[in-house]
Chain A
Amino acid sequence: MAKSKPSKKTTGTPPPLEIPEPKFNWMNQSRQWGTRVSPGKSGLTLDSLNVGIYGEVPPRWTDQGRNPRGAIPVKGALPIGYSVTEKIGLWAPMAAELYEEAIQRRWAPATDVPWASIQALPDDVETAICQVCTEIAQYANVDIEVLTNWQHRMSYGYHEVKQFLATASLDAARRYEAFRKRALTNGGGLGLEPMDQVNRFLLESRGGWTETVAGIALVRGLFLSTMCEYLFRHSYNDAERAIYSYVIQDVSRLIAYGVDHLRYCMARDDEKTSTVATMIAIGLGLMARDLRDPVLREALAIVFGGGIAGARREGMSVFLDFLEDFRERHVALRRWLNLPGDAMSMPRAFRPREPRQAR
């Protein structure tokens, strides 16, 4: 400790205090002083901070600690062990914007869903809805496990992505909660656990974040988002409509991050295009196998058809429309990303019906 000087006399009775001589050796140390970011019409956003050196996002972040981007790093700190250290491996230009949007669009299943609007439903419909809720809750569980497994491996220099993923994992937590609540609130309960190969595919995609993103966004995310749109159209009360609409907007952000990242990454690494295409092909193949299991397919058909009686014709027809919409959206995104493959290269379950029935 530096030389000390006696405390100045104070009123009261505390014992004399030895006050250390300050060093102030941390003062006047900044890589860019004089930064003044002002709030815009959306407030003071994360993206708006990217000015001068603070907006310089290097292609590789070698610091293995939590040195904030733009600060003077400390030397000799022991490494934490981040493994995603290259910008190409996680970056999405719109991550900061998506982060702020997620916060602005926050919701609480406890209070933002009009639970009182749920009235008793026929047993077949309630059973089907509860089965769908069980499946979607497990999707959410997988999202939680996948996102949190990657988040802590990402370098601090790319904080915008880490922060966006924090919102995405809380979104998944809300999905898990909202669908469990729906299943337990109207005289039903949880349904059968899914036998879902896509869940396994996402959990076991540990080799690379970009490949995992391809599965989360273009396979599972798009499937879930499209399914929720169809469920919204065939919902039975305002509570379900609220849940589906909130979930659609949450999942849309995750898809947007995924597409933005894939585009960024593939524009800079030709090889990634083929690995991403392979990953998606595997994911779609597994999804097609999952759809052979009657549980989700029939549960959706019952919901869409208004009961077992309408499930076989009307309900299954809507279900097939849903798969077609999923396919069309998937193909459109592939085209936008310049990924090889079209509708005819997808598994049979997703190929066009001929001709599409007008109802």
Chain B
Amino acid sequence: MTTPAADENLPELDLSWMNRRGPWDTHAKPGKYGLTLADIQVGEYGETPQQSQNLTGRSRGSPPRRAAMRIGGYTVRTKSDIWVENASFLYEEALQRQWSSATDVPWETIKPLPDDVEQAQCQLATFLTEVEFVAGDVPARWISVTTPDYFEARQVLLAQVMDESRHMDVFRKRALANGGGLMKATGATAGFVGGIDLSRDFTEMSSRLHISGEGAVLTIFRMGELMAYNDAEKAIYRLCAQDEARHVAFGVMHLRYMSQKAPERREEIDTYLDEAEGGMLTDAANPAGRLTQTSESLCILLGGGRDKFDEGFRKIVAIRRRQLQEYKKRVISAGFGERFENGRSRLNELMAQTAA
């Protein structure tokens, strides 16, 4: 393109940049769910490199400039390290299902509860306020070092950070809304080896966070009807469950992609799963695990009071079994089912220990 006729004192336009652009004549069209991320995966713009050479942070498909500085500093530059095939779907669903803990929870339905039940509810809420944002802090750290060439996966993680922020605040709100208060922290997400925070690899982190950690919490949220005493608590568990389900789906789909595209890492992933299974009943991050302050509070809630602890305990055993069964389904779905047949998994042993 060229500049129009020269005009007195105004500088000429350069316009040479107009001839340097990405693939042109792109017509992404909205579908029945609007114009989604999947809809803009058209032509070269939908092509995701197996190995990203993008060190300047440019948008995928944008022509590079040779003089651009390498300001990206990305450590996640291999597609199989972070990719999920259904990222667009998960992200768009996350945006559509954003909710507000201030206005979408019918707080007025909360009525005074017996002191033992309120204490149990507040202890559980304290625990969840404490642990939910590990799933905000840690994905955030990984987002900051992931190349924008894999932005679809990154978008899902950004939505997760937001979800976890809401979870942290909704349980704080519950603890302070009904004549109770926060109780005792657990240190469940401290900086120990094998903890989610200290993971040095994204898939290692995801297997701990999404598959075992959030998977266990998802089972509990899905059974929220059993431990809710009013419509507000039912709404909280239901809304959190739908968020958590997306996060778990991310983990499952990522492991599946990894197992298919980077089979050389399967053995390593199995080691992470060994570690996850080892902590499923003993890890303090599982509220139905063996840490007394969370498991006992759950028993009170599930049973209906301190004097119905035994009834609650029977239910928590059922929850533990369900957690293990659902974990097994996820791992099979992710492509690592053989560990349940070749004797590597400890799941059967764990099933026998659910009542301990």
A-side residues, CB < 8 A to B, are 1, 7-8, 10, 17-20, 22-39, 42-46, 49, 51, 54, 64-68, 70-74, 76-81, 99-100, 103-104, 106, 108-111, 113, 115-116, 124, 127-128, 130-131, 134, 137-138, 141-142, 144-149, 151-152, 156, 159, 162-163, 166-167, 169-170, 172-174, 176-177, 180-181, 183-193, 195, 199-200, 203-204, 294-295, 298-299, 301, 308-309, 311-313, 316
Given contacts A149-B140, A193-B64, 9 further A-B contacts (CB under 8 A): A23-B296, A66-B131, A109-B34, A110-B34, A142-B57, A173-B159, A184-B40, A188-B24, A190-B45
Pairs across A and B, CB under 8 Å, 11 listed:
A20-B356, A26-B297, A36-B178, A68-B182, A71-B185, A72-B184, A115-B34, A180-B40, A187-B24, A301-B13, A308-B3
Q: Is B158 an interface residue (CB 8 A)?
A: yes
Contact of A166 among B25, B73, B161 (CB under 8 A): B161
- Residues of A contacting B40 in the complex (Cβ-Cβ under 8 angstroms): 180-181, 184-185
B177 touches A10 (CB 8 A): no
CB distance from A342 to the nearest CB of B (A): 28
CB distance from A323 to the nearest CB of B (A): 15
Q: Can you list the 5 inter-chain pairs with the closest CB atoms, starting with the nearest?
A: A77-B187, A43-B102, A110-B34, A26-B293, A193-B58
B98 touches A151 (CB 8 A): no
Contact of A68 among B98, B148, B185 (CB under 8 A): B185
A185 touches B102 (CB 8 A): no
Contact of B140 among A18, A77, A148, A295 (CB under 8 A): A148
Q: How large is the interface on B (under 10, 10 to 19, 20 to 34, 35 or more residues)?
A: 35 or more
Contact of A313 among B10, B18, B100, B178 (CB under 8 A): B10
Q: Using CB atoms, name the residue of chain A closest to B310.
A: A19
Contact of A27 among B103, B116, B175, B192 (CB under 8 A): B116
CB distance from A47 to the nearest CB of B (A): 10
B35 touches A67 (CB 8 A): no
B183 touches A26 (CB 8 A): yes
B56 touches A193 (CB 8 A): yes
Residue among B1, B131, B151, B181 with max Cβ neighbours from chain A (10 Å): B181
Bound-complex Cα distance A198 to B17 (A): 20
Residues 1-32 of B, flagged 1 when their CB comes within 8 A of A and 0 if not, give 10110010010111101101111111111100
B14 touches A44 (CB 8 A): no
B20 touches A298 (CB 8 A): no
CB distance from B235 to the nearest CB of A (A): 12
- Residues of B contacting A72 in the complex (Cβ-Cβ under 8 angstroms): 182-185
- Residues of B contacting A36 in the complex (Cβ-Cβ under 8 angstroms): 176-179
Bound-complex Cα distance A24 to B312 (A): 14
Q: Using CB atoms, name the residue of chain B closest to A24.
A: B296
Given contacts A34-B179, A193-B68, contact A184 B17 (CB under 8 A): no
A30 touches B122 (CB 8 A): yes
Given contacts A26-B184, A33-B181, A181-B35, contact A190 B292 (CB under 8 A): no
B10 touches A316 (CB 8 A): yes
B162-170, B222-230, B256-264 - interface stretch: B162-170
B126 touches A71 (CB 8 A): yes
A124 touches B18 (CB 8 A): yes
Contact of B185 among A32, A67, A159, A203 (CB under 8 A): A67
B107 touches A44 (CB 8 A): yes
Q: Is B134 an interface residue (CB 8 A)?
A: yes
A177 touches B37 (CB 8 A): yes
Q: Using CB atoms, name the residue of chain A closest to B171.
A: A68
Contact of A189 among B22, B35, B161 (CB under 8 A): B22
Q: Using CB atoms, name the residue of chain B closest to A191.
A: B21
- Residues of B contacting A145 in the complex (Cβ-Cβ under 8 angstroms): 57, 143-144
A163 touches B169 (CB 8 A): yes
Q: Is B123 an interface residue (CB 8 A)?
A: yes
CB distance from B60 to the nearest CB of A (A): 8
A18 touches B355 (CB 8 A): yes
B313 touches A66 (CB 8 A): no
Residue among A66, A106, A108, A174 with max Cβ neighbours from chain B (10 Å): A66
A79 touches B191 (CB 8 A): yes
CB distance from A174 to the nearest CB of B (A): 8
B22 touches A163 (CB 8 A): no
CB distance from B76 to the nearest CB of A (A): 12
Contact of B71 among A37, A148, A199 (CB under 8 A): A199
Given contacts A115-B34, A167-B165, A313-B7, contact A103 B100 (CB under 8 A): yes
Bound-complex Cα distance A68 to B12 (A): 60
- Residues of A contacting B17 in the complex (Cβ-Cβ under 8 angstroms): 131, 191-192, 294-295, 298-299
Bound-complex Cα distance A78 to B194 (A): 12
CB distance from B17 to the nearest CB of A (A): 5
Q: Using CB atoms, name the residue of chain B closest to A164.
A: B165
Contact of A45 among B102, B179, B183 (CB under 8 A): B102
Residue among A49, A142, A166, A188 with max Cβ neighbours from chain B (10 Å): A166
Q: Using CB atoms, name the residue of chain B closest to A109.
A: B35
A192 touches B63 (CB 8 A): yes
- Residues of B contacting A37 in the complex (Cβ-Cβ under 8 angstroms): 173, 176-177
Residue among A27, A42, A200, A313 with max Cβ neighbours from chain B (10 Å): A27
